[in-house]
Structure 1
Amino acid sequence: MSKTTKIKTPARYELVMNQLMEAAERLFAQKGVAGTSLQELAEAVGLTRTGIYHYVKGKDEMLETLVKGFTLETARDLERLAGAESGTAIDRLREGVTNMACKVAQHPQRFRLLLTSEGAFPEALAKQYRTARKRTLTALTDLVAQSIREGSCRAVNDEMAAFSLLGVCNWVAFWYPHGEKTSDLTPEQLSSQLTAVALEGLIAGRDASGAGGIAQMIGLLREDIDRLEGMIVTD
């Protein structure tokens, strides 16, 4: 591959940056962040050692790009959905979970790298990463709580439910696309189906007709009481 040192167009810049990120996730996974040199990253995409500085300042900046592409964007997306006033809370929760799962499915190796390389982050980046993860949990918990208050979800512990949904999305990085019956699914198809499964146990499937007998009606009343108590605590 011929080597270049100049950025010719915005399109080329984006192309080379994507190639650099792919090379970084591959080499970082194989050799570790500390064991990968900028020279190796440059050669992987056909750049000179000097040419790579037209794109990145160093490995720390590449790590920061990876973190922003996942953790920070996810936090912002969930905060946007949690703060929205239009639409139902359950629809916004469904959108948020779907977006998270799709992002992981699109770049599973990159996401695994973030999880396993946290200890190699510079302190400033590690702080950003931890803060973004906390923001993600807070916003997702808020979406679950909103869904509970509107009656769309069962009256469960909202933070526990948020942790469960995060776990479902994160775990995608460790099995997709290697499953025999999931490898043919696109990230979009996978995330949509996964969200439906993940929310199935949370969504309130209420049958207030009384057909289920007294025990079922008592269960519904208990859910309503739990929901009311949660609203009182929130207020």
Structure 2
Amino acid sequence: MSGTDGNEPGMGRERRKALLEREIKDKACILFARKGFAGTSLTDIADAVGLSRAAIYYYFENKEALLEAIVAEVSERPIEIWLAQSRVSTAGPEEQLRDAVRRHVTGILDRQVLMRMMAVTEAALPPALAARHATSKRRYLNNCRRIIRDGVLAGVFRPVDDRVAALAVIGMAAWTVQWHDASRPPDTAGLAEAMAEMAVRSLSLDRDSAAAGTVDAVLVGLREHIGRLEQML
């Protein structure tokens, strides 16, 4: 019992530190989006949080370290977690694509302030950080392409250009940050589920029309199968 009591002050300090770091990041994102990275100073950020400039250094070594922490939170860490789980997943292509879109939409809407900042600041990232961010995005795109290719070869997705299809799905998910209103339904989980289903349906084979028995439907089905065969060969 005494051991638990002894840990509580330390736990409280860690929680306060985490909350203040979160506030620093959020305020920095607002300022970076409004004034640009180059036009925002640590003093600006400290004033917005209500701290002294010296106090900011307790949490972040400099402005570049703060931006690096934000980029890691927005792109590197979530993508690394998803890729690690995707590599060992036994789910089929449809469910893997649903999972990717759910994660993307949820991650964006849970970090709206950060995502809006990235949209404005991305082009002005320092070269080394821009390269890391681009690598994370490329890894995410490549894994989405792989899922779509697997779906085509498995006969559950239509023959499509996997790069174009992956970019369309990613863009659809990413754009939610611009229009989603948390005060109106659906909530984040509901929207993520709806977007995931739309992504899968946009690529799925139209089995209903193929089953209709018309000449056009048969030709469509044949073209789809030929397309899959060409990709397999």
Specify the alignment match of 2:22 in structure 1: 18
- State the Cα RMSD in Å: 2.2
Equivalent positions of 1:129-144 (< 5 A) are 129-144=133-148
Per mean C-alpha deviation after superposition, the further-off stretch among 67-76 and 186-195 is: 67-76
Unaligned runs of 5+ in 2: 1-10
- The offset of 1:17, in angstroms, is 1.1
- The offset of 1:185, in angstroms, is 2.6
Q: Does 1:172 align with 2:176?
A: yes
Unaligned runs of 5+ in 1: 1-6
Per mean C-alpha deviation after superposition, the further-off stretch among 188-197 and 77-86 is: 77-86
Q: Deviations over 1:64-105 (max 9, x none)?
A: 122111221343244335423412121011101111111112
Asked if structure 2 preserves the Cα contact closer than 8 Å seen for 1:102 and 1:188, the reply is yes
- The offset of 1:187, in angstroms, is 1.8
Asked if structure 2 preserves the Cα contact closer than 8 Å seen for 1:89 and 1:147, the reply is yes
Specify the alignment match of 2:130 in structure 1: 126
Aligned residue identity for 1:192: E
Specify the alignment match of 2:60 in structure 1: 56
Specify the alignment match of 2:184 in structure 1: 183
Specify the alignment match of 1:114 in structure 2: 118
2:76 pairs, out of 65, 72, 75, with 72
What is the aligned length?
223
Asked if structure 1 preserves the Cα contact closer than 8 Å seen for 2:98 and 2:199, the reply is no
Aligned residue identity for 1:197: M
In 1, distance between residues paired with 2:162 and 2:62?
A: 41
Asked if structure 2 preserves the Cα contact closer than 8 Å seen for 1:109 and 1:173, the reply is no
Asked if structure 2 preserves the Cα contact closer than 8 Å seen for 1:71 and 1:132, the reply is yes
- The offset of 1:226, in angstroms, is 0.8
Aligned residue identity for 1:214: V
Per mean C-alpha deviation after superposition, the further-off stretch among 82-91 and 133-142 is: 82-91
> 1:21–1:82: structure 2 CA closer, same or farther, 3 Å change rule?
same
Q: Deviations over 1:96-129 (max 9, x none)?
A: 1111111112223321211221232111101101
In 1, distance between residues paired with 2:196 and 2:124?
A: 32
TM-score normalised over the length of structure 1: 0.86
SS of aligned partner of 1:189: helix
In 2, distance between residues paired with 1:212 and 1:21?
A: 58
In 1, distance between residues paired with 2:45 and 2:224?
A: 56
- The offset of 1:132, in angstroms, is 1.2
- The offset of 1:16, in angstroms, is 0.9
In 1, distance between residues paired with 2:114 and 2:211?
A: 50
Percent identity at matched positions? 28
Asked if structure 2 preserves the Cα contact closer than 8 Å seen for 1:140 and 1:162, the reply is yes
- The offset of 1:168, in angstroms, is 0.4
Equivalent positions of 1:151-170 (< 5 A) are 151-170=155-174
Asked if structure 2 preserves the Cα contact closer than 8 Å seen for 1:78 and 1:139, the reply is no
Q: Does 1:203 align with 2:204?
A: yes
Specify the alignment match of 1:217 in structure 2: 218
- The offset of 1:163, in angstroms, is 0.7
In 1, distance between residues paired with 2:227 and 2:180?
A: 37
Per mean C-alpha deviation after superposition, the further-off stretch among 191-200 and 208-217 is: 208-217
Asked if structure 2 preserves the Cα contact closer than 8 Å seen for 1:108 and 1:176, the reply is no
> 1:207–1:156: structure 2 CA closer, same or farther, 3 Å change rule?
same
Higher share in helix? 2
